[in-house]
Amino acid sequence: MKIICLTLLIISGITDSVSEQYEVIGSADPVFAVAGEDVILPCSVKPSISVVNMRVEWYRLNLKNSQVHLYDDNVDKNKDQSQSYRGRTKLIYQELQRGDASLKLSSVRVSDEGLYKCFIQSKSWYDDAIVDVRVEAVGRPPLITIGGFDHSGGLHLQCESEGWYPEPDLEWLDSEGVSLSSETKETHRNKDRFSVKHTIIVHHSDNKIHCRVRLRHHMLEALVTSSSNIFHSWRTSVIMISVAVVLTVIAGIQIAVFAHKNKDHDRLQNEKRTLQDKHSQLQDKKRRLQHERDQLKTVIPQALAHSRTHKVKVILDADTAHPCLIVSDDGKQVRYENRETERVDGDKDRFDKYLGVLGKDGFSSGCFYFEVQVKGQTQWCLGGTRESVNRKGSIRRCPGNGYWAVGLFECEYWAHESSDVSLYLSVKPQRVGVFVDNENGLISFYDVESMSHIYSFTGQSFNEKLYPFVSLGYTSNENPTPLIICDDYC
């Protein structure tokens, strides 16, 4: 009888051990994460049995003090957790019941890149899986600077961008998308980020030159137009300098002859009159250029005055705003606050990552104009947008996606075309006017206080209602200064 009982116990133990066997599954492909965002490291058991009462341990391979997260005896035990992961790891307890031990890693850093092991142990079995985490850091938008012309008439262009990981690829493209060869290339690494700088020499006019910086899954681009006016100005300058040099040489020769021989006085006078005539011609050209500039100073205020005749009353719609935006009761101001607010109309489609808000009323015909005070704010974007645009997740603000906007980001002004265009403004706008002409497909932006033109989108097709749009950047904005819809048009 004892022998029978012992045999049954052994068979029962073997059966329980076999029934509890499982396989830990990770990810066959690398998991890509973006620095500053959150990522899920996948890990589960097959078949899908509960791991609530098991030991779940995450740790880094080939790293000293490598513990990332430990769950045991139904609680987290992170006393020995690596300092760099404190407060950034989390298991989703509801999923443990379904055999999912995936780890949420918040605010990803470049140093988080590497191999992770997910180890799951029951009373009678254990298994593990490896997860390969690759981190990408998206740098600043590329900046193109013009370095002037060389002796051959070639225009020097330099493009640089910083803050990338891993090392990005930078390439120049012409308007047809053909790659251009760089004259010089520089790459620097500062701690865990890379900066790149390439230069080219352009000899052709009327070309749009693109500078593109990209990683595996991200790409930023800047655009500059090498117009015929630039090359014409260079050629004019060369001709004028050459004429001036020739005239100076002639004058010098004549003066030397006069001093040496005291002859040819009449000839010297003729040369002097020639120089005076050239000087008069240059003065005339200078006056013409000044007259053109004066006319331009008159035209822009006239255009702004015309735009203001189409002013509309803009009220911001709080129910389209990002949860961290506070819209004033009168709908005239919006500011950022690091807490989420509830909206009255929960069915409205509102922004969830981009700190944007729309006006309550849209316009499908005619012209309309409004002004926004941006004084004191260090990060802003404003313009017009279609009613049907996507407001969820990461938004590429460009006409192709239904956004026509300009803005300030990291101390630089940008027009958000299909490739962002850097704007070189002589003064910082304090109040920006937005004029929309639906019939002619035009959106223009003005610096109201300096009476100057900022940028225009021309030849556009809106197709549906356009709504006023303002924002305070992406994800967060620590500057408490509000953007203000202005009604006091002086």
Q: What is the CATH number of the domain that holds 344?
A: 2.60.120.920
Among 226, 252, 271, the domain-final residue is 226
DSSP SS3 for 269: helix
Q: Please check whether residues 108 and 201 belong to one and the same domain.
A: no
- Where b means 16+ CB within 10 Å and e means fewer, 50-83 reads ebeebbbbbbbeeeeeebbbbbeeeebebeebbe
In-domain check, residue 41: yes
In-domain check, residue 257: no
Q: Please check whether residues 220 and 352 belong to one and the same domain.
A: no
Measured between alpha carbons, how far is 202 from 212 in angstroms, rounded to an integer?
A: 16
Q: Please check whether residues 405 and 431 belong to one and the same domain.
A: yes
Q: Please check whether residues 402 and 459 belong to one and the same domain.
A: yes
- The per-residue pLDDT for 19 is 56
> Does the structure show a pLDDT above 70 at 329?
yes
What is the number of domains present in the chain?
3
pLDDT digits (tens, 9 = 90+) for 39-52: 999 999 999 999 99
- The per-residue pLDDT for 350 is 84
In-domain check, residue 238: no
pLDDT digits (tens, 9 = 90+) for 225-263: 765 555 455 444 444 544 444 455 455 555 555 555 555
Among 136, 159, 194, the domain-final residue is 136
- The per-residue pLDDT for 290 is 56
pLDDT digits (tens, 9 = 90+) for 430-477: 999 999 999 899 999 999 998 889 999 999 988 889 999 999 988 888
Q: Is the CB of residue 381 less than 8 Å from the CB of residue 470?
A: yes
Domain assignment of residue 158, given as a range = 143-226
Q: Is the CB of residue 236 less than 8 Å from the CB of residue 228?
A: no
Q: Please check whether residues 350 and 479 belong to one and the same domain.
A: yes
- Residue 248 phi, psi dihedral angles, 5° rounding: -65, -40
pLDDT digits (tens, 9 = 90+) for 80-115: 999 999 999 999 999 999 999 999 999 999 999 999
Among 103, 121, 136, the domain-final residue is 136
In-domain check, residue 11: no
In-domain check, residue 211: yes
Q: List the CATH number of the domain containing 36.
A: 2.60.40.10
Q: Please check whether residues 114 and 185 belong to one and the same domain.
A: no
Q: Please check whether residues 350 and 405 belong to one and the same domain.
A: yes
Q: Please check whether residues 128 and 209 belong to one and the same domain.
A: no
SS3 content of the chain, % helix, strand, coil (to 5): 25, 40, 40
In-domain check, residue 48: yes
